[in-house]
Amino acid sequence: FARGLWAFQRMTGYTEDELRTLTALDITHEDDRAASRKRTDEVMVGPQRSYRIEKRYRRKDGEIVWADIHTSLVRATESTPAFFATIIVDITDRKRAEAALRASEERWRAMFETAPVGIATLDFERRRYLTANESFQRMTGYTEDELRHLTTLDVTHEDDRAAMQKRIDDGTIGVLQRKRYRRKDGGVIWADATSFVIPATDSTPAFRGAVIVDITDRERAEEALQQAQADLARLNRVMVLEEMAASVAHEVNQPIAAVITNANAGLRWLGARQPDLGEVREALGRIVRDGTRAGEVIGRIRGLVKKVPPRRDLLDINEAIGEVIAMTQTEMQRNGVSLQRRLADRLPLLSADQVQLQQVMINLIVNAIEAMGGAPDRPRELTIVSGIDDPNGAFVEVQDNGPGLEPADLDRLFHSFYTTKPEGIGMGLAISRSIVEAHGGRLSAAPNEPHGAVFRFTLPIEERASDAPE
């Protein structure tokens, strides 16, 4: 360097005296020296008298600065030797901004390509796909090139197209839409789709973006859950029939026996030498009365299903509790009930009919939810606890903070047809106790402190089920 202006000194960190001892290549970044030397040589030996290049300088402190350099060769004269005149503009900030932009684009591209949800962009007017990430391609079975020839309606399930078209016509954006897609192979997937608009810029027109979440497995799980709820409801009817049949057998037998007795008496009065029609009329009246009574009793079980045999399997009681919570979650939310779980770890497996025991838990949980509706002055809290009652038994408790139990009602709670509900038939707890006792366990109730009730059932741990689940 023959001379270095103050701005260049500040850029490189060298003083002018220091620069006079250095060449341009000395402070050029080592990776850019070959290209810089090549351009300088071309000017010195060829017809070209100048060049422009972007390159890096290595500052005195080791840091790097980017520069836009315009170098011209000034030919020698009679009084001065040839020299290079160079204009150097610091473009470090611009280069950093460009690098940040590239990094941002790379991050976006990486996110776009690797996201576990579908992401797609669509032409604003025609709704044709512009780009689609791997997740959306797997979801639909189409490649990105194939999707570019399709519109969002083309891959929408035919039964959902009218609703989709209405959203398009209305210009609906930013609203979650649950819809079905028709895959390339004809299969159907369920998805939650949300669309949004990317505004136009100086270089690109406006376009639509969409995020698509595959919820097919969740929909299937919800269908299975609904089926399980239907099965449990059916079992409830089955168990009501079983318990009711046992409970009303005595009531049915009594009027039937009376009908037979009065019929025989009537036959005797008619068979007498002088039939006593008054006695016969009274006997027939008693037959009508007792027959009506029997019909009323039988009417209580009309519409219930036939009894099915119970099935015993090794059961993880905590898993069964988890399934019941899932089935009753909506009911809890609708009634503003908060749930706490205190489930013991590694409980032994139990030999039990899972559906029957889950029906017991559902009855207890629903009863607790309904009971807390009568205590509107405090938060509604439901607690489910599991644990070991003793070395030979496990227990489950359902605790609520409702109005609680009257001491006088404790002995009658589990009696058939006893209920405190206006529309109840008084069979739920009776059925629950019969199920638990059929499993060799015990169902009991007690007050909860400071408010509410605790229903607790215990089940025996059999030797063959004594090992905890791995």
Q: What is the pLDDT of residues 114-131, one digit of tens each?
A: 788 999 999 877 889 999
Q: Identify whether 384 is part of a domain.
A: yes
- For residue 83, pLDDT beyond 70: yes
Q: What is the pLDDT of residue 71?
A: 85
Could you count the other beta carbons within 10 Å of the beta carbon of residue 391?
8
Q: Identify whether 429 is part of a domain.
A: yes
For the ranges 32-41, 76-85, 245-254, 451-460, the lowest mean pLDDT is seen at 245-254
> What is the torsion angle, in degrees rounded to the nearest 10, for the CA atoms of residue 270, residue 276, residue 277 and residue 279?
-100
Task: Kindly state whether residues 379 and 404 are assigned to the same domain.
Answer: yes
Is the sign of the CA dihedral 125, 130, 133, 134 positive or negative?
positive
Domain count within the chain: 4
CATH code at position 56: 3.30.450.20
Q: Identify whether 99 is part of a domain.
A: no
- For residue 248, pLDDT beyond 80: no
Task: Kindly state whether residues 328 and 241 are assigned to the same domain.
Answer: no
Q: Which one has a higher pLDDT value, 161 or 107? A: 161
Exposed / middle / buried, residue 403 (Cβ in 10 Å: 0-12, 13-18, 19+):
middle
Task: Kindly state whether residues 323 and 431 are assigned to the same domain.
Answer: yes
For the ranges 108-112, 245-249, 281-285, 432-436, the lowest mean pLDDT is seen at 245-249
- For residue 301, pLDDT beyond 90: no
- For residue 346, pLDDT beyond 90: no
Task: Kindly state whether residues 285 and 328 are assigned to the same domain.
Answer: no
Task: Kindly state whether residues 318 and 428 are assigned to the same domain.
Answer: yes
Q: What is the pLDDT of residues 52-70, one digit of tens each?
A: 899 999 999 999 999 999 9
CATH code at position 355: 3.30.565.10
Q: Which one has a higher pLDDT value, 249 or 35? A: 35
Q: What is the pLDDT of residues 8-23, one digit of tens each?
A: 888 999 988 888 888 8
Task: Kindly state whether residues 153 and 248 are assigned to the same domain.
Answer: no
Task: Kindly state whether residues 35 and 164 are assigned to the same domain.
Answer: no
Amino acid at 116: P
Quick one: which of 45, 25, 49, 44 has its CA closest to 35? Answer: 25
CATH code at position 267: 1.10.287
For residues 131 and 120, is the Cβ–Cβ distance under 8 A? yes
- For residue 286, pLDDT beyond 90: no
Q: What is the mean pLDDT of the chain?
A: 80
Task: Kindly state whether residues 135 and 184 are assigned to the same domain.
Answer: yes
**Domain, as residue range, for 64:** 6-91
Task: Kindly state whether residues 331 and 443 are assigned to the same domain.
Answer: yes
For residues 417 and 300, is the Cβ–Cβ distance under 8 A? no
Point out which residues pair with 11 in neighbouring strands: none
Q: What is the pLDDT of residue 418?
A: 46
When pLDDT is cut at 50, 70 and 90, the band that residue 237 belongs to is low
Q: What is the pLDDT of residue 387?
A: 93
Tokens of 104: 């941002």
